[in-house]
A and B are shown apart, each in its own frame.
Chain A
Amino acid sequence: DVKVTQSSRYLVKRTGEKVFLECVQDMDHENMFWYRQDPGLGLRLIYFSYDVKMKEKGDIPEGYSVSREKKERFSLILESASTNQTSMYLCASRTTGFYGYTFGSGTRLTVV
């Protein structure tokens, strides 16, 4: 069964900490995405990547960065966590030419 795996289901971090959210897919997909999910706002795109070492800003990139050193892994980095980054974070991937996404189960991050 193909999978997108997010390393943590729940995380609690302190304000100012550097936070790493990891996502791994086993489908050899070229495209990977990080979304943030908040009630009433739907899914908002933070960053995405078309290939290894490539990244593009989404709609809400401020306060985040990403890293894609290997095709299967896409990391989201909060350089200095703030309370307004408390949210559910969803990773997704898709193969080139097919536009349906496969999502991970999400990481619920709380910044205190």
Chain B
Amino acid sequence: GENVEQHPSTLSVQEGDSAVIKCTYSDSASNYFPWYKQELGKGPQLIIDIRSNVGEKKDQRIAVTLNKTAKHFSLHITETQPEDSAVYFCAALRETSGSRLTFGEGTQLTVNP
């Protein structure tokens, strides 16, 4: 089955700096890669996703890049703000009937004012 590894497990940045979280996956047939943000006391929320037919996707201050050859994808947050502080999870799956997401271990991002 799929295996997803995520690094780093904790990340601390100053407000205004950029943050990068990286994930690798094992199943070359995986073609959908979402990122979730989990704020304290809440369930994870989908913030951005990418499919394997594109290499990069951007939504305001967040972007995701995908390298299919190397089987890794990354989340980039620019101009970080204190409200970006949360746990971030990457995930992967193959889009077929019956498939389910495999998640990484999570990254605790802290943005210091």
Complex contact A99–B9 (CB within 8 A): no
Question: CB distance B42 to A43 under 8 Å?
Answer: no
Is residue B6 contacting chain A, with contact meaning CB distance below 8 A? yes
Interface size class of B (residues with CB under 8 A): 20 to 34
Contact B105 A42 (CB under 8 A): yes
**Chain B min CB distance to A96 (Å):** 8
CA of A43 to CA of B106, assembled, Å:
8
A61 close to chain B: CB less than 8 A: no
Q: A58-B100, A99-B32 are in contact. Are A43 and B49 (CB under 8 A)?
A: no
State whether the Cβ of A50 lies closer than 8 Å to any Cβ in chain B.
yes
Which residues of chain B have C-beta atoms less than 8 A from A102's C-beta? Answer: 46
Q: What residue of chain A has the Cβ atom nearest to residue B49's Cβ? A: A100
A100-B34 contact in complex given A48-B100, A50-B98, A105-B43, C-beta closer than 8 Å: yes
Restricting to A55-112, which residues have a CB under 8 Å from any CB of B? 56, 58-59, 90, 92, 96, 99-106
Assess whether B101 is in contact with A42, with CB atoms less than 8 Å apart: no
Contact B106 A42 (CB under 8 A): yes
B34 near A90: Cβ-Cβ < 8 Å: no
A62 CB to nearest B CB, Å:
17
Show 12 A/B contacts (Cβ-Cβ < 8 Å), sorted by A. A35-B103, A40-B9, A42-B4, A42-B89, A43-B89, A43-B106, A44-B103, A45-B102, A59-B1, A99-B49, A101-B36, A106-B42
Q: Which residues of chain B have a CB within 8 Å of any CB of chain A? A: 1, 4, 6, 9, 32, 34, 36, 41-46, 49, 89, 93, 95, 97-106
Which residues does A use to contact B, with CB under 8 Å?
4, 33, 35, 40-45, 48, 50, 56, 58-59, 90, 92, 96, 99-106
